[in-house]
Amino acid sequence: MTRLQAIHPPINDSAGGVETTMAVISRNKAVAPFSASLSSMLLAFIFFAGWTSALYGQAKPTATRAGDLQIGGTFSMASSDYSTNYFRGFGVYSSFDFRDHVGVIAEFHQLNDPRNLHGMYERTYEIGPRYILHYGRVNPYAKALFGRGVFNYPKVGPGLGANLAYNVAAAGGGVDYHLSRSVNLRVDYEYQRWLGFAPNGLTPAIVGVGAAYRFH
């Protein structure tokens, strides 16, 4: 089924915002490779570098107990809930566990339609609490996140496309495995709900596999 919307001039609703002018939105389009922009990757790097630097200073006095800080990345795949294609991309994350079982996590995801000629993607920035259990080297966790998502719609002609922002709520969980004193491996699942995404919201599901450096 095809979703078609015509919007001119740009709109701004209570749940989302407009980043660029929208002319036409098409639901399903044929596809080809797309890679994340340099600016988005630079923004993610600056964000997580600042986050890590701030929390590392807090973590050092209690590093032998709580105060567990890590920063890492994932290879990710998602059921986008918009296209029949599985979106692929990467994630960057940082977590700080200020108690034995309680911490906070920040995440960035860039997920692209791998066959889309016109750069359709889902991009999210999220932060929230996480709860961790400890079984030797294995540390399962649950998380609840809130943030902002950007959906880049496929272009259907010169200048006919859109890049819209929405509020995003998410829940999920995964497992961190302590491979060594400084390296954690991660398997992660996340279910997102994009609020205000017409007509009935957007609910991507993301699976990621990656690794992180553990500060000590």
pLDDT in tens, 49-108: 555 445 545 444 433 346 899 999 999 999 999 988 899 999 999 999 999 999 999 999
| One-letter identity of residue 128 | G
| pLDDT tens, position by position, 197-211 | 988 899 999 999 999
Report the alpha-carbon distance of residue 84 to residue 29 in Å, rounded: 10
How many CB atoms within 10 Å of residue 214? Answer: 19
CA dihedral (62, 65, 71, 75) in degrees, to 10, reads -170
User: Given CA atoms 12, 18, 24, 26 in this order, what sign does their dihedral have?
Assistant: negative
Peptide bond into 199 cis (omega under 30): yes
Domains of the chain and any CATH numbers? 4-27+34-215 (2.40.160.20)
Question: Per-residue pLDDT tens for 173-202?
Answer: 999 999 999 999 999 999 999 999 988 899
Tell me the whole-structure pTM to 2 decimals. 0.70
Instruction: For 15-37, write each residue's pLDDT tens digit.
Output: 444 443 333 333 333 333 333 44
CB 113 within 8 A of CB 31: yes
* Residue 194 CB partners (closer than 8 Å, separation 6+): 149, 151, 166, 167, 168, 201, 202, 203, 204
Widest pairwise Cα distance in the chain: 58
